[in-house]
C-alpha cells in the first residue's frame, strides 16, 4: 500500500506539491487527476524515491522511499511518461536488459511472464522499432512488471494513444488491480479517471478532493431531472417546489417549457415527481436525468479552489 503524509516538494520558491496526504490500498486504483503542471509527476517521483520531498513523509509497501532507495525498487514498478527502448533490439531483449538490474531474478522466466501478461508473447522476438505506440506502451507496462512489484506508479499511461489502444491498456491495468496490486495512476484525462479509478484525487498542487467518482458527483451536485411540460404555469412550479422531496424547482431560462427539478434521491423521487405533476394537471412530454459529468465536478472543484 501507499501512504503519503503532508508530502511537500518545492523547486526553488515554487511549490509543486503542497502537503499531500492520502492512502491507497492493495487492489485499488487511485487516480491523481489534474491539469498539466499540477504536480502529478513530482508526486510519483517522490513516492518512488527518485526525488526527495522538501517535507512530509511517505510509506510505500511499508518502506520509506526517502530512506531505502535500493529496497523500494524491489517493490515498485514505475511507468514513466516517455519510456525509452532500444528500437533495434527485440521486445524480449529489451526486457532482459532491464530485468538484469534486479538481483535474484530469473530473467528468462520474468521476461516471458511479463510479455504473456501484456499479451505480447507472440511478438517477443520482433524489434521494438516495428511496434505501434500502443504496443510500446504495453511493453513499457511489461517492463514495470518484471519483478512482480506490489505497488505500481503509472504516469499518464494512455496519453498519446488512440482510443482503441487506450481502452486496451486500461483493461490490462484493471487486470493488474485484480491481482491485488496497489496502483497510483496520474492522468489529466477525466473520462479515463472515471473509467478505471476506484477513487479520484482531484489535484492541483494541493489535493482539492479525494473520493469515489459517485461521491464526488454527489458532493458537488444534487441530482437533477429535466421535465418538459406542454402547459407550464407558475402555479405548477410553486406546487412542485413545495413538495418535501424536492430541493428546488425552476424553469429553464433557455427553454421555458422545461422544468429543472433538483431531487433528494433520484431513483426514489423521480416516480413521485411524475405522478405529482400528472395529478396537478401537467402534460408531461419528457423526463430525463440531467447528467453531470465528472468534468463538471472537476471544473467546479478546481474553480472553487482558485482564490
Question: In the complex, which residues of this chain contact ligand ADP (CB under 6 A)?
Answer: 11, 16, 34, 36-42
* Binding partner of 201, given Mg ion, ligand ADP, none, CB within 5-8 angstroms per partner class: none
Cβ count near 284 (within 10 Å): 16
Question: For residues 117 and 187, which CB has a smaller minimum distance to ligand ADP in the complex?
Answer: 187
Q: Which range in 38-46, 66-74, 116-124, 139-147 contacts Mg ion by CB under 5 A?
A: 38-46
Question: For residues 155 and 269, which CB has a smaller minimum distance to ligand ADP in the complex?
Answer: 155
Q: Which range in 18-26, 34-42, 45-53, 274-282 contacts Mg ion by CB under 5 A?
A: 34-42
State in angstroms the smallest separation of the CB of 41 from Mg ion. Answer: 3
Question: For residues 35 and 62, which CB has a smaller minimum distance to ligand ADP in the complex?
Answer: 35
In the chain, % helix, strand, coil (3-state, to 5) comes to 40, 30, 35
> Whole-angstrom Cα distance, residue 99 to residue 142?
11
Question: For residues 40 and 147, which CB has a smaller minimum distance to Mg ion in the complex?
Answer: 40
Determine how β-strand 151-155 pairs with β-strand 76-79: parallel
The CB-based long-range contact list for 195-198 (8 Å cut-off, 24+ gap) reads: 195/170, 196/29, 196/31, 196/170, 197/29, 197/30, 197/31, 197/33, 198/28, 198/29, 198/30
Residue 297 in 3-state DSSP?
A: helix
* Binding partner of 84, given ligand ADP, Mg ion, none, CB within 5-8 angstroms per partner class: none
Instruction: Please answer whether residues 292 and 221 qualify as being in contact, where contact means their C-beta atoms are separated by less than 8 angstroms.
Output: yes
The closest alpha carbon to 246, from 228, 268, 219, belongs to: 268
State in angstroms the smallest separation of the CB of 33 from Mg ion. Answer: 12
Fill in the per-residue mask, 41 to 70: x = in contact with Mg ion (CB under 5 A), - = not in contact: x-----------------------------
Q: How many residues does the chain have?
A: 307
Ranked by CB distance to Mg ion, the top (closest) residue is 41
State in angstroms the smallest separation of the CB of 46 from ligand ADP. Answer: 10
Q: What are phi and psi of 136, to 5 degrees?
A: -60, -40
* Binding partner of 101, given ligand ADP, Mg ion, none, CB within 5-8 angstroms per partner class: none
Question: For residues 189 and 224, which CB has a smaller minimum distance to Mg ion in the complex?
Answer: 189
Determine how β-strand 199-204 pairs with β-strand 206-211: antiparallel
The closest alpha carbon to 103, from 60, 80, 70, belongs to: 70
* Binding partner of 281, given Mg ion, ligand ADP, none, CB within 5-8 angstroms per partner class: none
State in angstroms the smallest separation of the CB of 3 from ligand ADP. Answer: 20
State in angstroms the smallest separation of the CB of 161 from ligand ADP. Answer: 18
State in angstroms the smallest separation of the CB of 282 from ligand ADP. Answer: 49
> Whole-angstrom Cα distance, residue 132 to residue 154?
19
Question: For residues 3 and 188, which CB has a smaller minimum distance to ligand ADP in the complex?
Answer: 188
Residues binding Mg ion (CB under 5 A) = 40-41
Amino acid at each position: 500500500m501507499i501512504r503519503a503524509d503532508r508530502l511537500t516538494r518545492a523547486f526553488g520558491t515554487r511549490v509543486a506539491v503542497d502537503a499531500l496526504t492520502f492512502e491507497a490500498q492493495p487492489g485499488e486504483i487511485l487516480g491523481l487527476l489534474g491539469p498539466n503542471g499540477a504536480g502529478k509527476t513530482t508526486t510519483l517521483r517522490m513516492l518512488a524515491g527518485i526525488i526527495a520531498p522538501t517535507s512530509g513523509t511517505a510509506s510505500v509497501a511499508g518502506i520509506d522511499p526517502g530512506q531505502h532507495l535500493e529496497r523500494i525498487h524491489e517493490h515498485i514498478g514505475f511507468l514513466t511518461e516517455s519510456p525509452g527502448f532500444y528500437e533495434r533490439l527485440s521486445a524480449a531483449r529489451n526486457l532482459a536488459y532491464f530485468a538484469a538490474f534486479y538481483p535474484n531474478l530469473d530473467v528468462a522466466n520474468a521476461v516471458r511472464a511479463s510479455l504473456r501478461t501484456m499479451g505480447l508473447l507472440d511478438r517477443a522476438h520482433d524489434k521494438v522499432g516495428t511496434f505501434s505506440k500502443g504496443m510500446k506502451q504495453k511493453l513499457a507496462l511489461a517492463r514495470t512488471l518484471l519483478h512482480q512489484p506490489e505497488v505500481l506508479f503509472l504516469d499518464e499511461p494512455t496519453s498519446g494513444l488512440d482510443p482503441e489502444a487506450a481502452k486496451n491498456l486500461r483493461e490490462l491495468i484493471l487486470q493488474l488491480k485484480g491481482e491485488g496490486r496497489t496502483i497510483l495512476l496520474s492522468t489529466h484525462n477525466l473520462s479515463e479517471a472515471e473509467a478505471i479509478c476506484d477513487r479520484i484525487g482531484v489535484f492541483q498542487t494541493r489535493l482539492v478532493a479525494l473520493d469515489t467518482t459517485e461521491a464526488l458527483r454527489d458532493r458537488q451536485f444534487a441530482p437533477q431531472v429535466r421535465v418538459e411540460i406542454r402547459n407550464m404555469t407558475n402555479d405548477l412550479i410553486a406546487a412542485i417546489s413545495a413538495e418535501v422531496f424536492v430541493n428546488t424547482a425552476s424553469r429553464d431560462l433557455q427553454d421555458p417549457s422545461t422544468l429543472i427539478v433538483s431531487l433528494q434521491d433520484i431513483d426514489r423521487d423521480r416516480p413521485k415527481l411524475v405522478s405529482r405533476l400528472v395529478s396537478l394537471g401537467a402534460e408531461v412530454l419528457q423526463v430525463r436525468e440531467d447528467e453531470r459529468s465528472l468534468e463538471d465536478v472537476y471544473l467546479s472543484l478546481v474553480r472553487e479552489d482558485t482564490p
